[in-house]
């Protein structure tokens, strides 16, 4: 695979995720400042879904199709257009249409093209419903999680916009937008339930306090991070990207491990047993969403473990972008048996052995896989 086979796709994907982050921030400000919860519906799997979910999906779908017009753009994404087209969703649909058009109007700031005129409802529903691919091992599929970590989003905490490109069943590009990712890692562990307790960014200063887009291309051996665009500045590629690399810590006593916040998403007590047998000394860092992969790639944590309840199937969009970024930053991601994750089997990571582990390096990874086996035998999961 040539190094620059995906130069155009990566360029477009990074710009599109920057725009999606800006859209999310706008919706989140509205959500935090308004007390009404009219726009928050519940998902089938009980997580909250917001205007942001559909707006991001419509925006990303439209921009990818327009920017890569010479390709057939196939997108696997989480949200299903059915809910939005129902008669009861009129208020929601109006909010989505307005949000998408507000976002697309800013495309030139990100080096992309705006629509000639505002998109109508049917065009927006069309863009969302075009995200109907089921992935698999043939051809190219974009994989999108419009707002990963909806609970984090609603609380003004960590969430991510994740976009990956899978070709012939392998991830080739990953882009992860983390709008609330703090510049200083100490802020990650602050459970700020409102956006007020985060240091605010000021448009005048060059320093950024939070928010970044990370990205990587398969086989490059590099992962990169750009700060989100502030105020009315234009997106400039060259001068804002910083390389990110995993931590060099390989002593469990010094390592930080991340896990999901909610008990429904992982077995906290099993992770605690594994952590104990590894000799971790630090408290686990509980972080919403794929931001956990960003923390490993940036060197802010060394290990991420997730052991879902039996019967739960991990979805490809919850992992694809994070996995390639961690791998290209120098880390290792496998299932709990040490096998690579298989993204070629459709919407789910089929054949997964017990859970998912991501580590900053092979030494910790080998110890972790050993600890999982030891703890598994002694626990009755």
Say which residue, 283 or 11, is predicted with more confidence.
11
What domain count does the chain have? Answer: 2
Residue 1: inside a domain, yes or no? no
Say which residue, 87 or 223, is predicted with more confidence.
223
- Catalytic residue list contains 157: no
pLDDT in tens, 62-98: 999 999 988 889 999 977 777 777 766 777 888 889 9
List the CATH number of the domain containing 141: 3.30.540.10
- Output the six-digit token pair for 73: 């753009």
Residue 316: inside a domain, yes or no? yes
SS3 242: strand
Residue 200: inside a domain, yes or no? no
Helices (H), the chain: 7-33, 51-67, 81-85, 90-104, 121-129, 150-154, 268-278, 291-297, 320-328, 362-378
> In this structure, are residues 297 and 329 in contact, taking their beta carbons and an 8 Å threshold?
yes
Domain range for 100 is 6-195+205-244
**Does 377 appear as a known binding residue?**
no
- Catalytic residue list contains 251: no
Is the pLDDT reported for residue 59 higher than 80? Answer: yes
pLDDT in tens, 164-212: 999 999 999 999 999 999 877 777 765 443 344 444 444 434 455 789 9
Same domain, 230 and 319: no
State residue 147's pLDDT score: 93
Same domain, 237 and 92: yes
> In this structure, are residues 256 and 301 in contact, taking their beta carbons and an 8 Å threshold?
yes
**Does 78 appear as a known binding residue?**
yes
- In the numeric block, the tokens 């030139």 are attached to 108
Q: Looking at residues 158-164, what average pLDDT do you find?
A: 96
Same domain, 84 and 59: yes
Same domain, 19 and 136: yes
Considering 53, 157, 300, 335, which one is annotated as catalytic? 53
**Does 335 appear as a known binding residue?**
no
Place 152 in a pLDDT band, splitting at 50, 70 and 90: confident
Same domain, 162 and 300: no
**Does 145 appear as a known binding residue?**
yes
* Rounded alpha-carbon distances, angstroms, from residue 118 to 25, 73, 106, 198: 21, 22, 12, 34
Considering 59, 99, 150, 266, which one is annotated as catalytic? 150
Same domain, 149 and 216: yes
> In this structure, are residues 76 and 133 in contact, taking their beta carbons and an 8 Å threshold?
yes
List the CATH number of the domain containing 306: 3.40.190.80
Q: Looking at residues 302-326, what average pLDDT do you find?
A: 93
């Amino acid at each position: 695979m040539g190094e620059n086979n995906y130069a155009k796709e990566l360029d477009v994907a990074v710009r599109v995720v920057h725009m999606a982050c800006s859209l999310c921030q706008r919706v989140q400000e509205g959500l935090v400042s308004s007390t009404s919860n009219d726009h928050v519906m519940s998902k089938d799997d009980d997580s909250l879904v917001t205007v942001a979910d559909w707006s991001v999906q419509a925006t990303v779908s439209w921009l990818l199709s327009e920017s890569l017009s010479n390709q057939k753009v196939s997108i696997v994404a989480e949200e299903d257009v059915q809910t939005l087209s129902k008669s009861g969703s009129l208020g929601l649909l109006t909010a989505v249409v307005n949000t998408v058009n507000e976002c697309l109007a800013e495309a030139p700031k990100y080096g992309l093209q705006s629509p000639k005129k505002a998109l109508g409802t049917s065009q927006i529903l069309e863009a969302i419903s075009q995200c109907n691919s089921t992935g698999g091992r043939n051809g190219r599929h974009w994989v999108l999680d419009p707002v990963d970590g909806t609970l984090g989003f609603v609380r003004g905490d960590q969430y991510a916009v994740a976009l990956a490109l899978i070709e012939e069943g392998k991830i080739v590009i990953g882009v992860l937008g983390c709008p609330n990712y703090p510049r200083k890692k100490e802020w990650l562990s602050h459970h700020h339930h409102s956006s007020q307790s985060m240091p605010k960014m000021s448009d005048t200063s060059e320093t950024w306090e939070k928010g970044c887009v990370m990205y990587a291309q398969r086989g490059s051996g590099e992962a990169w991070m750009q700060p989100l665009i502030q105020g009315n500045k234009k997106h400039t590629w060259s001068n804002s990207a910083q390389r990110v690399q995993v931590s060099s810590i390989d002593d469990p006593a010094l390592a930080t491990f991340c896990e999901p916040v909610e008990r429904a998403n992982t077995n906290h007590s099993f992770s605690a047993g594994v952590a104990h047998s590894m000799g971790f000394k630090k408290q686990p860092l509980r972080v919403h969403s794929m931001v956990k992969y960003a923390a490993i790639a940036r060197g802010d944590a060394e290990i991420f473990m997730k052991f879902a309840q039996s019967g739960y199937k991990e979805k490809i969009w919850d992992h694809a972008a994070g996995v390639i970024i961690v791998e290209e930053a120098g880390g290792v991601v496998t299932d709990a048996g040490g096998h690579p994750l298989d993204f070629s089997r459709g919407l789910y990571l089929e054949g997964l052995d017990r859970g998912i582990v991501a580590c900053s390096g092979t030494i910790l990874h080998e110890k972790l896989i050993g600890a999982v086996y030891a703890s598994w035998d002694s626990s009755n999961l």
